[in-house]
Amino acid sequence: MSPSVRNIIAWILQALLAASFIYAGSQKLMAFDGTMAMFGNLGLPGWFGGFIGVAEVLGGIGLLVPRTVRPAALGLIVIMLGAIFMHATKIPGGLANGLPAIVSLVLLAVVLALRSRPAARAAA
């Protein structure tokens, strides 16, 4: 795949993921009382819901800034792994309801691969 095609695909995925994470994080922060209650019901401290909301918004913004794409994607991957774990173990409906987190995880991994350094790709 040519570098320009890789770049176009990466930007499309980054924009879609950024919109998704900024929206999801904003919703957690705008309904903060509900978010705190939900996280509390999962056995987590309520404030952690606010932390995740802020991290999602900042991660979404980071996906749009060329210098921060890789760290943002890595951070959001960690959050999605946690979300998938919670869906698998504590959230009613299991992994079927965690499908958006699974899709986001896969797409973030694709962005990370597309944005890997050229020297690292050549060595592989």
Between helix 32-41 and helix 47-62 the angle, nearest 10°, is 110
What are the CA-CA distances from residue 79 to residues 25, 52, 55, 103 (Å)?
A: 11, 8, 9, 13
Mean pLDDT of 97-115: 96
Q: How does DSSP classify residue 116?
A: S
The encoded tokens of residue 45 equal: 């401290």
Q: How many CB atoms lie within 10 A of CB 123?
A: 7
pLDDT at 121 (0 to 100): 53
CA R_g for the chain: 16
- Report pLDDT digits (tens) over 24-61: 999 999 999 999 999 999 999 999 999 999 999 999 99
What's the residue count for the chain? 124
Q: Which long-range contacts (CB under 8 A, 24 or more apart) does 5-8 make?
A: 6/114, 7/114
Position 107: which residue type?
L
Mean pLDDT of 1-21: 94
3-class secondary structure, 91: coil
Answer for the pair 52, 21: CB distance below 8 angstroms, yes or no.
Answer: no
